[in-house]
Every structure is written in structure tokens, then in C-alpha cells.
Amino acid sequence: MVVKLREYGIADPDEIYWFKSSIHRGRPEPLDLHLGMFLPTLLTQATLEQQDRFFMPAWNLEIIGTYAQTEMGHGTHLRGLETTATYDPATQEFILNSPTVTSIKWWPGGLGKTSNYAIVLAQLYTQGQCKGLHAFIVPIRQLGTHDPLPGITVGDIGPKFGYDEMDNGYLKMDNFRIPRDNMLMKYAKVEPDGTYVKPLSDKLTYGTMVFIRSHIVGDSARSLSRACTIAIRYSSVRHQSELKPGEPEPQILDYQTQQYKLFPLLATAYAFHFVGAYMKQTYHRITGDINQGDLSELPELHALTAGLKAFTSWTANAGIEECRMACGGHGYSRCSGLPDIYVTFTPSCTYEGENTVMMLQTARFLIKSYTQVSSGQLVSGMVSYLNDLSGQHIQPQQVAARPTTVHINDPASLVEAYKLRASRLVEAAAKNLQAELNRRKNQEDAWNRTSVDLVRASEAHCHYVVVKLFTTQLSEINDAAVHAVMNNLCLLYALYGISKHTGDFLQAGILTDAQVTQVYQRVKELLAAIRPNAVALVDAFDFHDNHLGSVLGRYDGNIYENMFEWAKKSPLNKTEVHESFHKHLKPMQSKL
């Protein structure tokens, strides 16, 4: 793969990410963090001089790097990381230490046995003051011999739930010294005398995480799309039971209950594809602005990537498991491909920011935006709907309780309904937070006691963003037949979401009881409307059989013969009589 990267001249972080995914079919491998985080961090956080020193050796695999942030005792709470980098002006070096057992770096991919360098996140101390978390380029193994360097203790953390191909590792540093210019200094720096020069924004240091989170949204779409492809193709081949006595067994995809399991997930996969494309474009646009010195949209980029990373990965993770169960007993076999998709994808709910914490980070941005609007300021971007709240000063009703007419067959009208729901939940969370503050006078305690409301508000905001982006995409489809099919998918996604959160829409007065009844009925009608195109819709994802990795999801539908062939290749079938018979069963039987 690396030879091909060089041959095709692929150096852009995005292109590396996509090329790696296509070559390895979504499977993890030890160079993932080198290609997906180490190289991109050098490109985005290093000075030009540092890039000259480190990038080409890393590109040529003389340096193989990983990204060491998570510790045994801390993960998403970055301010709690304990690894220290103390500047020594006498030698112009940083002294790196893992002062406690909980400060040992834990989980970085490729760290266990593959990497010889790591970008280490550590608390920077200079002139007797802690300046917070910063990134350092740290050699950990001797080039040539690959032996750990003196002061470095490194190894593999052992078996995991999945990711068997990846050598996730640990790293302990004891008074390990690196040169001053091994600190990534594009934004923040330490002068030779120890003077600290702070960045324009602390969030600039987290650029790599924002990059990866934006990609996780796309990964959610692809992983859910693969699972839907397998389950829907299998459901069109599998025949079971009777719909009408005496007639042939129908395809299980003809059962409404099967459609209700799978078609909302199919709609979700399409929705997430559009959101992933939007996040990619937005990330590049805003990072371009940042490079020009415009940091105005950085807070929303951070909040949006955090929230959508959590929203899409939670939904996709549950959806993959739903697809597995929809395939019955065969879904539990690894030949289905679904167990591998699940165990490979499910860590994304935790890495690069545990999802609940991500939702709470988004909530901080939402509450800040709400506070700005309440003080008479206008907000922009995806939270601009909060500007309507300014009307409450002259109109006593809550914004989400104002009369509105929702047309359940109009995606644009459903966007308004989701917007009102988000407004209502953000407003409710903000008011509950203020009430807790009034009672307790302690910001941290009040935040904790409102955190369930805050997560609900963030989820509602993210749900609104997804519905809005899906609906916006419809206007770009010119083919009438395709538009009709995609319109049905969009309606199903939006209405199914309403059916699962009816309490929010009823409590806020957005929908009436009668409309909720109509929503339930319309969802069932859309299942029937989507059924004729269901297989074509998953075929449109264009997964090659080799990439899909599933006997059940084969494009040619030849499932049973290939399942039998797959089973015959089991290692237990290498001999007709397994050695355990002679070693254990036969001696035991002879004693009976």
C-alpha cells in the first residue's frame, strides 16, 4: 500500500485516508495511526522546519509514528492528562515523564510493536508554570534495531474486544529528554529561554482530533451502508414461513416487520452519507479560513464535529447490530461479515472522544449560543434557529410552543418541526441549568445535575442538522425518478425519527395527537413504497464483494452454496477426525 501511495503521489491526509480504507476494506492495521494521524498532525501542527526534518522520513517509513494521547487513567478529559513535559532552558530540552501509573499512555494503535516515534500529548511546564496540553514528537525506539530507547517502557496492551490486527500499546517515560524543537510549534511555542508564546486559540492544538471526528461521520455512513447492504440483500434471498396459506414462502423482505427494521436504517445510511460529505467540505473550508487567520467559525466546527461524531456513531453502531439480528441465526456467523463490521466500528463510539462527553461539549456551545441570543446578540451557522428566541421578550410563549403547521409529507416542513424541537430542548436545558445555578451557586455541580437535559438538547440539535442536510440534498437531484425515491427516503428518515421521539413533539405543541397518528401510518406506507427499490438502493452504495466481505450479502445472491463452501474451509475440517477424539474422547469412552 505504501508503495502505491508513493507511486500515485498521494500525500493529502484526506486522500491517504480514503486510499487506505479502499485497500484494507475498512479493516484496522498497524499503520493506521501513522497514516491517519501522525502524518496529518505533522502537516497541520508542525512548522515548515519541523516538516522538513520529520515528514519525508515518516513518508518513507524510516519513521513510523503513532498518536499517543489517551492514558490509562484519562481519555476524553484532556485537561486531566497527567504526562508532563518540563522545559529545561539550560539544555534547551523537554523532560518527559509519566509520573503515575494512571499517566501511562494506553491504547494508541501501532504503539505496541510497530512504531518508533510517537506524537505525545503532555502537560507543558515552563518557567514554573503549567501551560496546558501540547504535542511533542518523541522517538521511542532505536532506528535500525527497534529496541526501546533508555527511559522508554513500551509494549502491547493485550487482547481486546476486536481489532486483533492492531497492536494497541502502552508507553511509560522516565525523565526522557527531547530537543526543544521537537515540540510542535506551528501555533504555540517555547522560546530558548523558556518564554511561552500562546496560540491564537487553544482549540488549534486539537486540529487532528477535529479532522478524525469529521471522518468518523463518513465512517458511520459507510459502516451502516455495508450492514444494510448485507441485511437487505440477504432478506431478498431468504424465504421463510407463509404470508398466505398454500402459497410459496415469501422473501422475508416482504414482511412489514423486516422492512420496519431495515428501511429506516437504509434511510439513515443515505442521510449520514450527505452529512459526511457536508462535514468534509465544512472542515476544509473552515481550516482554510483558519490558515488565513480567521478563527471565527472554529468553535462551531469543534462543536459540530463533536456532536455529529457522537450522533452518527451511536446510531450506526446500534444499526449494525439491528442488521445482524435481522439476518437471524446466519447473521451471527462470521461469514455474514456483520460481526466483523460491528467489532471494527464500535470503538468509534469511544475513541477520539467518548460520545456522551462529545455531546456535552456540543451542549456547551449550544448554551453559549443561547446566552448570546438572550443578551440580544445574533448567532450564525447551524444554531441560527436560536435567533428566534429573541422574540420571547415580547411574546411570552416558548419558541417551540408557538403555533406552526407541520405538513408530514413535506420534508421542508419537517425540517421546521425538528428545528422547533431543537429550540425547545436547548431552551429547556438552559433554563434548567440556570435554575440549578440559582439553587446551588456552583457552575460545575449545576452542569452535572443538568447533564441529561444537555445531552438531549445536543441530540436534538444534531438530529435537526441531519434532517436539514438530507432535505437540502434533495434540491440538487434533477432526475425526477431518483428524486421521488430519495424524497421517500428523506420522509422516512424524518418521520421515523418523530415516531421515536413523539413526546418531544407533543410536549412542545409542534404536533397534535392526530398528526402523530398520521406519522405512524405514513411510516408504514413509506415502507411499502420503498420496498421495490430497496435492493437497488443498497446496490447503489457500490460495495464490491471483496470489500463487503460477506457470504450473505453477495451481489449474485448465491448465498447457500457459498455458505457451505465457506464452512468446509473451517480449520476444524482439515481432518475428518479431530486429534481431540484420540486425545480425550476415545480414552474417556474406553473407561465407561
φ, ψ of residue 88 to 5 degrees: the values are -110, 100
Helices 207-237, 13-24: axis angle to 10 degrees equals 30
- The residues that are catalytic are 352
Distance CA 314, CA 451 (A): 18
- Counting DSSP H helices and E strands in the chain, the numbers are 21, 11
456 vs 162 pLDDT, higher one: 456
Distance CA 424, CA 139 (A): 51
Helix (H, G, I), strand (E, B) or coil at 297: coil
232 vs 24 pLDDT, higher one: 232
- Residue 394 — pLDDT band, cuts 50, 70, 90? very low
Give pLDDT tens digits for 410-437.
999 999 999 999 999 999 999 999 999 9
Residues 6+ apart with CB under 8 A from 580: none
Region at 489 (left for phi over 0; alpha for psi -120 to 50; beta for the rest): alpha
Strand partners, 239: 251
Q: How confident is the model over 158-179, as a mean pLDDT?
A: 94
Greatest Cα-to-Cα distance within the chain, rounded to the nearest angstrom: 92
Sequence-ordered alpha helix ranges (H) in 25-80: 32-33, 39-45, 48-59
Share of the chain above pLDDT 70, in %: 92
23 vs 396 pLDDT, higher one: 23
pTM metric for this prediction: 0.87
Q: What H or E segment, with its residue span, contains residue 453?
A: helix 451-474
Q: Calculate the CA 193 to chain-centre distance.
A: 41
Sequence-ordered alpha helix ranges (H) in 238-297: 256-291
Q: Would you say residue 391 has pLDDT above 80?
A: no
